[in-house]
A and B are shown apart, each in its own frame.
Chain A
Amino acid sequence: EVQLVESGGGLIQPGGSLRLSCGVSEFSVSSNHMSWVRQAPGKGLEWVSVIYSGGTTYYADSVKGRFTISRDNFKNTLFLQMNSLRAEDTAVYYCARVSSYCAGDCFFFMDVWGKGTTVTVSS
């Protein structure tokens, strides 16, 4: 079964660091585009970061310079290293596969998601 399972969330003090993991089953993390999306309490979904199959990475302005997305092809796992954490980073963090449908243009969408892991930044 195609599945994503996030882990690594928890309670962390402001300024601290945390590394989230996303275990991938039934497809290769190295051959697919992968993304992190978060949802703060009472708020909507916010895109955080993406790593394309070729290795190029991008970040939302709100996390640029503090978060790093990476993958371990042998462990088939996606990571999000989060440094200098702030209260506003408190959220449920989801990993998702980014797939595409090309018919002239290429349309990108997130077709497989995990259930999320909760990060709470508080003193």
Chain B
Amino acid sequence: DIQMTQSPSSLSASVGDRVTITCRASQSISTFLNWYQLKPGKAPKLLIYAASSLQSGVPSRFSGSGSGTDFTLTISSLQPDDFATYYCQQSYSTPGYSFGQGTKLEIK
């Protein structure tokens, strides 16, 4: 099974900050990597698929990069609505679709 490890587990930042979250796969997954945003009581939201493709309707301040085993999600200028928990997910070894453990982004 492919294990996904995110860092950091939690992060404090301010509105306007540039933030980067890292996801590492236990083996190469090419660019089969997705990013999601999760807020309490709301439906999870797809942000990025195929490592760097922005999902329709997602603000352009979100971007993804990486291939192989190392990936990043970057928020270029944090907005109040961005404080949430973020998850990476691999889709290389389907149907497993394993997720990282999550990164909680909090207001500083």
Residues of A within 8 A of B (CB): 4, 35, 37, 39, 44-47, 50, 58, 60, 94, 96, 101, 105, 107-111, 113-116
Q: In the complex the two chains form, is B102's CB within 8 Å of A113's CB?
A: no
- Write the nearest CB–CB distance from A50 to chain B, whole angstroms: 5
- Write the nearest CB–CB distance from A93 to chain B, whole angstroms: 12
Of B32, B46, B102, the residue contacting A111 (CB under 8 A) is: B46
- Could you count the A-B residue pairs with CB atoms below 8 Å apart for me: how many are there? 71
* Known A-B contacts A110-B34, A111-B55, A115-B42; A45 and B99 likewise in contact (beta carbons under 8 Å): yes
Using C-beta atoms within 8 Å of the partner chain, give the interface range for chain B.
20 to 34
Question: Which A residues are CB-close (under 8 A) to B74?
Answer: none
Tell me the complex Cα distance, A46–B46, Å.
Answer: 15
Question: Which A residues are CB-close (under 8 A) to B91?
Answer: 107-109
Tell me the complex Cα distance, A60–B50, Å.
Answer: 23
Q: In the complex the two chains form, is A108's CB within 8 Å of B30's CB?
A: no
Q: In the complex the two chains form, is B31's CB within 8 Å of A107's CB?
A: yes
Question: Which A residues are CB-close (under 8 A) to B99?
Answer: 37, 44-47
Q: C-beta contact mask, B13-49 vs A, less than 8 Å → 1, else 0? A: 0000000000000000011101010100111111001
